[in-house]
Structure 1
Amino acid sequence: MELTAEIAAYRDGTGDPGRLVGEFRRAVLLVPLADGVAGAAGGLMSAVSGGIRWFYAFTDEEALARFAQARGEDGREWPYLAVLGARLVDAVVPQVDGPAGVAVNVADGDGSMLFPPVTSIVPDGCAVDTVGAEADAGMVA
């Protein structure tokens, strides 16, 4: 099953957290670059909310376009990298000074999903929880 279908299943209560995280890790995600955004100094586009840096990631160009439109910035070019979800959490998140997670398809309301900095999603050294949490403990729908 693809990531968007796993997100939908999880959100309607029929999904499996382990399958969702596995599909996220296997998915090729489009991660916009911060270059060209007012006040950004390059790198991957992200935002800080609740003390967590959230990297924006999208399952396809249409989801990225909806994000651009929601920001009122659909008239400009949106350069992005195609990155495996596993690479984002295993290689990018550890480079961040502080907790970081991934926000997938954030402009899609019911189709969005946050993958927070918790055990079973990010490397243990980057997780904000400390005692064997299940993969779904910190997921926010």
Structure 2
Amino acid sequence: MELSAEIAALRAGTGDPGRLVGEFRRAVLLVPRADGSVDSTGGLISALSGGIRWFYAFTDEKALARFAVARGEAGREWPFLAILGARLVDAVVPEVDGPAGVAVNIADPDGSMLFPPVAGIVPDAYAVDVETESGSVAGVA
């Protein structure tokens, strides 16, 4: 089952959280670039909410287009990085100063899903619900 279908199943109360996370990790997600560039030096669009950096990611170009319309920016080009969900949480999240998660299809009221910085989604060293050996919570300064 694809990620969008897993999100719909979970939201309908018939999905399995483990299957959802697995599908998220296998999915190729489109993550818009913050500076509009297509080279590797550009940052990724994200937002800070509740002390968490949320990367915007989309399951397809139509979902990204709905996001652009919702932001009132449909008239401009939206360069994006195509990346596996696993790579996004395993390689990009650890580069963020503080806790970070992924907001998928955020402009779709009935099809969005948040993947927060918790164990089982992001590496334990960056999960806000895991205590380190020093007794502090990982990922929180």
Q: TM-score under structure 1 normalisation? A: 0.88
Deviation of 1:84 after TM superposition, in Å, equals 0.2
Name the count of aligned residue pairs.
128
The one-letter amino acid of 1:51's match is G
Structure with more helix by fraction: 1
Structure 2 counterparts to residues 1-141 of structure 1, below 5 A: 1-36=1-36, 42-130=42-130
Considering only aligned residues, what root-mean-square deviation do their CA atoms show, in Å? 1.4
Q: For the residues of structure 2 that align with 1:95 and 1:88, how far apart are their CA atoms?
A: 10
Q: For the residues of structure 2 that align with 1:128 and 1:17, how far apart are their CA atoms?
A: 19
Q: For the residues of structure 1 that align with 2:95 and 2:84, how far apart are their CA atoms?
A: 16
Moved over 6 A (4+): none
The one-letter amino acid of 1:71's match is R
* CA offsets 1:53-80 (integer angstroms, 9 cap, x no match): 0000000000000000000000000000
Between Structure 1 and Structure 2, whose CA radius of gyration is higher? 2
> Could you list the runs of 5+ residues in structure 1 that have no partner in the other structure?
132-141
Deviation of 1:130 after TM superposition, in Å, equals 1.9
Give the SS at the match of 1:106: coil
Q: For the residues of structure 2 that align with 1:60 and 1:80, how far apart are their CA atoms?
A: 11
Q: For the residues of structure 1 that align with 2:74 and 2:108, how far apart are their CA atoms?
A: 15
Give the SS at the match of 1:111: coil
Query: What's the counterpart of residue 139 of structure 1?
Result: none
Q: For the residues of structure 2 that align with 1:35 and 1:92, how far apart are their CA atoms?
A: 17
Deviation of 1:42 after TM superposition, in Å, equals 3.5
The alignment-based identity, stated in percent, is 83
> Could you list the runs of 5+ residues in structure 2 that have no partner in the other structure?
132-141
The one-letter amino acid of 1:123's match is P
